[in-house]
Amino acid sequence: MELITLLLLQLSLVAVGILLAVLLGMRGKLEIFGLAYLLGSGFVSLLFFLLHWWLGLNLDSLNLLITLGGSLVLLLLLAVVTRKTLFLSNLFSWRLRKHWRPLIKLEKVVFIIILFLVGFSFFENYFWPITDWDALAFYDFRARIIALRGNMLEGIQLGYFFQYPPYTSFLHVFGYVFHVQRVKVAYSFIYGSFLLLFYALLRRKQDQTISGIATLILASFTMIFEHAVTAYSNLPYTAFFSLGMMYLWFYVNKGSKADLLLGGILVGLSTWIRSTEPFWLVAAVPILWGYFRYRTRLVSSVLLLAWLSLPDKLWRAFLKYLDSLSPLNIFESQTHTIAAIKDFITQGEGVASLLVHIWQVSIYLVEILVPEFFLLFLLFVFAIGHGAKRRLPELVTLILLFSIVWGGTFIFSFTWDTWNLIAGSIVRMCMIFIPLLIFLTARDLHYEKK
């Protein structure tokens, strides 16, 4: 019974996501199914949160059903009004045998291995409980408190309780309010959706073989697969952000409104998962680049620029609201980082000290990132070297993303004396580069599909 309840919950989120993808103008079946769980879980969790905050609804099973049911009814009505129902009815007319038979042996082996990895992650997450420290003590603990109390007031004095936005905790809450304990399977749905959409986007430019092999490399990449069976926020964040950037790259190159909308929405939803890394700022570059290139979609571009960090801003506004309900001031007006930088300036540290500090941070990042990403980066350089000028938007965004990594580490180094002991956190933060580099490398091979 628990498995049935669990699958019904996940499939309800998929149904919401399918409707959203179709209404946003997506036409490719693989892309729609790849987007489904990501859009559905992001939209429902955000709406569930807003209904709790603005209308005072408890975060319980009844109100979750109301949120899911209301979303489905509203989106179906919109599909009827916009005449999308015929397309929806044809969406599931898909025959496995018709698509499987033409595949060569290599392609069949590749897809079987990918399916095995996704299936293994599902069984691992279904039968093995949450044991990783941050997941157990933070994401899952927060979800259990929410499910138990129906609100977020419990634990208000625990600052770490609110460090990250609650997307992953809500994925757990969706199960706990129905007394389902095997909530880790949500990460398998994210993992599978991530791979399917990655493959579908790559198929726009490449043949089946190259796209499948690249997807297998992504699926089996140690860091990616480890997080597919770990209840952390890194894999969901990587999926939302990297796929959003891929859509925005396509928008810059082709000018499709659907690509613009989906790219902006996915990147914005990534701030509903993690907000400590301001990578979302970089998404403004392809949005503005596309606008100035095509001189169209001003309203959509402006709205998406505002949306990019809106989920995070809503979360922070909610935290201030919670703070107002507490007799204690749990949020400091000045961060440790700002105070540390002020001390550095007031103590009269010279240019030489600053240059030494810059050198130390740079060497530290090289030492921890080169072993993890050197081969991937080298392949990427070889793949795009013959046409770097044509890939300027992608190269600019990658440089800006790494600049944020370096700048964030540099600023953090002012905060704690132990700043050079966070190698694991920095490597996890750089997970976004794995799908982006694999995608660009495979997409830009010389024998790409015409």
pLDDT in tens, 314-337: 999 998 888 787 666 655 544 555
235-281 pLDDT, tens per residue? 999 999 999 999 999 999 999 999 999 999 999 999 999 998 899 99
Is 153 within 8 Å of 163 (Cβ atoms)? no
Nearest one of 215, 220, 183, 175 to 197, comparing CA atoms: 215
The whole-angstrom separation of Cα 93 and Cα 192 is 21
- pTM given for the model: 0.94
> Residue 46 corresponds to which tokens in the numbers above?
């955000």
The whole-angstrom separation of Cα 314 and Cα 370 is 37
Residue 337 confidence (pLDDT): 56
170-206 pLDDT, tens per residue? 999 999 999 999 999 999 999 999 999 999 999 999 9
The whole-angstrom separation of Cα 124 and Cα 111 is 20
Nearest one of 226, 194, 269 to 435, comparing CA atoms: 194
Phi first, then psi, for residue 429 (nearest 5°) are: -60, -35
Q: Phi-psi bin for 206: left (phi > 0), alpha (psi -120 to 50), beta?
A: beta
> Residue 251 corresponds to which tokens in the numbers above?
């928008």
The whole-angstrom separation of Cα 71 and Cα 20 is 10
If pLDDT is split at 50, 70 and 90, which confidence band does 90 have? confident
Q: Is the pLDDT of residue 450 over 50?
A: no
Beta-carbon neighbour count of residue 98 at 10 Å? 8
Residue 448 confidence (pLDDT): 43
Is 192 within 8 Å of 302 (Cβ atoms)? no
Which is it for the CA torsion 349, 350, 354, 356, positive or negative? negative
The whole-angstrom separation of Cα 133 and Cα 167 is 18
Least confident range from 151-165, 300-314, 363-377, 402-416: namely 151-165
Q: Is the pLDDT of residue 341 over 80?
A: no
Nearest one of 424, 442, 437 to 226, comparing CA atoms: 424
Average pLDDT, the chain: 89
Domain ranges of the chain: 2-337
Is 38 within 8 Å of 197 (Cβ atoms)? yes
344-353 pLDDT, tens per residue? 566 655 677 7
Mean pLDDT over residues 205-212, rounded? 94
